[in-house]
Structure 1
């Protein structure tokens, strides 16, 4: 029987995480009944169930993790969603930590086994395997029962003061009904029996978990803990950096709103001043016109009075005067009339203002404004995770390409240069290519998979025993590819082991997969009329309409790290997020050169093959500006998952391999 006592194995943690409170990402309180999703993020059972209830309905097949957004399938097929949380495994590691600071342990006084027999016996020990407090007698009983004698028993005092992880089998995150049994060193994966049988049966270095545990190198825990502390520090610095960016953005937001408000207020004030000046100008014009009018009216009124006097004079002379007097009156009237006619003619020939016109063009331009200013985001990055972090983590992440990528990650998109390393003339017609691990694979109209090394050497080819022509190929990790077929609603999954290719699965889809991409938990494919989003079993999650008029293949590419995918929609390149916001379209750019193949580099810049013009275009991830990355004939493009190399296939069947130039 194994009886544990306080020893070096159970020494309190003196690291920087000592006293760290494990909190639920949903409620931000200490974890209660911690349950872990397959993505390894842990939540309170009640919080997780509340989230599941709010996020799904009876028709849903899964949820997105609240932290990483990874698609999580139902724990069991047909299980009601109100029981999902209880079906996810308990995180006993965090449960043990949270129980140390709870009152549950201090309340344990009596032997649980004896209580079931209606006896009250003080507990002195704790069985990790039974997860029960026991007395001396029950401890001795354990020793005499073959199935119990190997149980790990601690003193109750030690149990109350320290975190204790129950002796429980580790549940497989992909097959909840199975437990972890073996470890594949080839892929650094813990596997259940199903994982081993379906994905690792050809691997060479597979051992039982217990055997691996016994062979742990001395000091490995301290080594990994040190590296994790370094990583934690870098993450915390990165959080601070991102928070500073957020603070800077909010400050900038307030500043530009104040500036625009000041400009608008100044513009309004200026408009008020200009309006008053305009009113004054109108008054001045009108006063002058009124004065001119009154002067003319005064002249005409005088002429009128004179004419009336002449008429009275002539009438009086004619009625009461002599002939001589009449003659004289007539002559005076004639002379006066000629003078009056001249005056009237002079007045009539002059112009008077009878109204006004005004130029409203400038004011109308203001009225027609749809915007008073365009807002553009200034992209910024924090630099907490840098080469300093990589130096500390060197033995943990010993990957030259990864470190090289970190050196180039902040390079301006327009400064990225690509160098052609090799070209291979492909016989026949080739529809698609993929780059994975240290290999390049293409599919042919002759129903073959042809595999090359990244150095340009043809390694081998494999005939595909299927009636239809393969039209697309994509990889999910180093030894697995998926292939679509013309006019068929299926994907075939193949495993590549050395020079051998084996079909391991066939996935039925909702629509024809003319173009497709593979995510960890989902499949996105296009039929030319719709974009379909399915889980890895082919069950439909969402469908979105699209337009394809530029070619037979509906080109599409996915960005695993950003959980986004891009596709051709008529002559546009559209970006969509692989979450609940999948219906939101982001127009990146419009082309007239008939866009074809799509690719994404290590910065998330998008590359577009253009049929006309023989060029590969780059769409910047910063501002969506477009530039010519390469002057080259190209039909389809496929990037390596690290985004630092790619292959092109042109219309003449040339396979070209490019890497980034420093």
Structure 2
């Protein structure tokens, strides 16, 4: 609890907008203190900073919202420990973030232009198809009309043939009537009978002739079904253009580039570790795991108790629950190819996995039982070891160590004198230093490639490398217990992870982002991996 008398007197300068007009004229290039008013509580001055919520606050903010927070300190106390190098790194991070946003804006503009071009292409194609359809309809109509005209002429010709035959039969009948009428008026009975018989035979013969003609099946009408035309004459709704959507990775890229600005990065080392000298700390085993037919020396914590392990032999990423003394396999995610080293993307649930020719980012959900592929990035050079730095990544293979930008493009490469049996690489908790193995020792560099220190390992084969929360280097060997080398290089010690009843040679060590726990892999070449979870003991 902060005492009421904590608040000191202030010379208040009115600040408007973001950092705009001030009541007093201030030259920003001079080192002077400027007190800022609280934007929420009028007349109150910003005096405190809540580490838990990353918020500036006045005394009223503290009393109302942050008094139960464990890490709420005065700004005066915080600035005593302020590192200008850290602020310069934040400035560099802002520059990287601006470059990232500029690139995303260009990509967004390109996506917009591409979408508009695609729309015009589709409309042009559609109009062309409509014109083709019109031509086809005109041609179909012309052909249909020709067929109908031919058929109609055929039907009308038949009717005209019938009409001609009926006309001739009409003539025959008329003549017979006239002749019979004449004979009845002036002829004898014999003549009447003879003429009548002849006329009857004549009419009968003509009628029989008509019956032999195949002309009597006549067309009396037409019917027409316009089913096909109705498809065009009715209201037509053409198929809509189907959008092909994918989740934008813009926020992901912004989070990666601006992790220190957005506040979405990994948790910081626990405060109580600052009271312990890690060069003399003791480690207590809290969980144990033994798996047959499992080979792997890379892993990460995805929360306080669950870890994800690269399994070379099963070609999988395995998640274990280490909350109990005996770790339990929770889920095994089958990968496309052999997985190697891992590092965090941002937060503990997003990880990058090295697969040699590519790096894949996964989001791990549902307590480790679901892996969602976020992005797959092809890389130049073979990537086995991978570590995250403040402004990008550092990767390694048997022949080189490579600094990369946040998009995994190559910044610069450091060729090793001889091929390494196995590339070993790590980055510090703050991401400002990296360490990698050479034939004879360990080299520590900053992220610009400047060598900070070099430690000899007397030609012993190194199989693992890590930083603790203080920046001390821990290197593992294939035949002995690991050595912890002080960050100033002046002292070193052996950390004994071995137990009296069993030989245990650590092959690699990976710390929890909060610095209090670590995964310790047993070095073994017999086709199995034992890993254990150790915790730093509090004083």
Name the TM-score, length of structure 2 as normaliser.
Answer: 0.50
**Rounded Cα–Cα distance in structure 1 between residues aligned with 2:451 and 2:75:** 34
What's the CA shift for 1:619? Answer: 0.8
Residue 587 of structure 1, aligned match among 454, 469, 480: 454
What's the CA shift for 1:642? Answer: 2.2
What's the CA shift for 1:94? Answer: 1.5
- What residue is the counterpart of 1:606 in the other structure? 473
Which of the pair has the greater relative contact order for Cα pairs under 8 Å at 6+ separation? 2
Deviating beyond 6 angstroms after TM superposition, the runs of 4 or more aligned structure 1 residues are 162-165, 187-190, 224-229
- What residue is the counterpart of 2:464 in the other structure? 597
What's the CA shift for 1:424? Answer: 0.5
Residue 645 of structure 1, aligned match among 493, 497, 517: 517
Cα contact 1:431–1:470 (8 A) shared by 2: no
Superposition pairs for residues 442-453 of structure 1, below 5 Å?
442-445=309-312, 446-453=314-321
What's the CA shift for 1:163? Answer: 9.1
Residue 19 of structure 1, aligned match among 8, 12, 16: 12
SS at match of 2:451: coil
* Structure with larger Rg: 2
Q: Deviations over 1:294-320 (max 9, x none)?
A: xxxxxxxxxxxxxxxxxxxxxxxxxxx
**Rounded Cα–Cα distance in structure 1 between residues aligned with 2:494 and 2:396:** 27
Q: Does 1:511 align with 2:378?
A: no
**Rounded Cα–Cα distance in structure 2 between residues aligned with 1:449 and 1:412:** 31
- What residue is the counterpart of 1:425 in the other structure? 290
- For residues 229 and 655 of structure 1, do their structure 2 counterparts lie closer, same or farther at Cα, with a shift above 3 Å needed? closer
**Rounded Cα–Cα distance in structure 2 between residues aligned with 1:451 and 1:656:** 14
**Rounded Cα–Cα distance in structure 1 between residues aligned with 2:420 and 2:401:** 16
Name the TM-score, length of structure 1 as normaliser.
Answer: 0.42
What's the CA shift for 1:600? Answer: 1.4
- For residues 237 and 507 of structure 1, do their structure 2 counterparts lie closer, same or farther at Cα, with a shift above 3 Å needed? same
In structure 1, list runs of 5 or more residues that go unmatched. Answer: 1-13, 23-90, 104-161, 166-186, 191-215, 243-398
- What residue is the counterpart of 1:230 in the other structure? 73
What's the CA shift for 1:608? Answer: 1.0
What's the CA shift for 1:496? Answer: 1.0
Q: Deviations over 1:10-66 (max 9, x none)?
A: xxxx976653699xxxxxxxxxxxxxxxxxxxxxxxxxxxxxxxxxxxxxxxxxxxx
SS at match of 2:382: coil
What's the CA shift for 1:452? Answer: 1.8
- What residue is the counterpart of 2:19 in the other structure? 94
Superposition pairs for residues 124-523 of structure 1, below 5 Å?
220=61, 230-238=73-81, 402-408=270-276, 411=277, 413=279, 415-428=280-293, 429-438=295-304, 439-445=306-312, 446-456=314-324, 457-458=327-328, 460-466=330-336, 468-476=337-345, 477-485=347-355, 487-488=356-357, 490-498=358-366, 499-523=369-393
- For residues 585 and 422 of structure 1, do their structure 2 counterparts lie closer, same or farther at Cα, with a shift above 3 Å needed? same
Q: Does 1:532 align with 2:402?
A: yes
Tell me the number of residue pairs that the alignment of Structure 1 and Structure 2 aligns: 307
Residue 485 of structure 2, aligned match among 608, 616, 619: 619
- What residue is the counterpart of 1:80 in the other structure? none
- For residues 219 and 417 of structure 1, do their structure 2 counterparts lie closer, same or farther at Cα, with a shift above 3 Å needed? same
What's the CA shift for 1:502? Answer: 0.8
What's the CA shift for 1:592? Answer: 2.8
- For residues 231 and 509 of structure 1, do their structure 2 counterparts lie closer, same or farther at Cα, with a shift above 3 Å needed? farther
Q: Deviations over 1:373-392 (max 9, x none)?
A: xxxxxxxxxxxxxxxxxxxx
Cα contact 2:400–2:414 (8 A) shared by 1: yes
What's the CA shift for 1:224? Answer: 6.6
**Rounded Cα–Cα distance in structure 2 between residues aligned with 1:400 and 1:478:** 12
Q: Deviations over 1:166-198 (max 9, x none)?
A: xxxxxxxxxxxxxxxxxxxxx9899xxxxxxxx
Cα contact 1:440–1:451 (8 A) shared by 2: yes
Cα contact 1:449–1:462 (8 A) shared by 2: yes
**Rounded Cα–Cα distance in structure 1 between residues aligned with 2:515 and 2:375:** 27
What's the CA shift for 1:92? Answer: 4.3
What's the CA shift for 1:661? Answer: 2.0
Cα contact 2:453–2:489 (8 A) shared by 1: no
**Rounded Cα–Cα distance in structure 2 between residues aligned with 1:164 and 1:638:** 42
**Rounded Cα–Cα distance in structure 2 between residues aligned with 1:102 and 1:225:** 33
**Rounded Cα–Cα distance in structure 2 between residues aligned with 1:507 and 1:578:** 22
Residue 629 of structure 1, aligned match among 485, 495, 498: 495
**Rounded Cα–Cα distance in structure 2 between residues aligned with 1:400 and 1:239:** 16
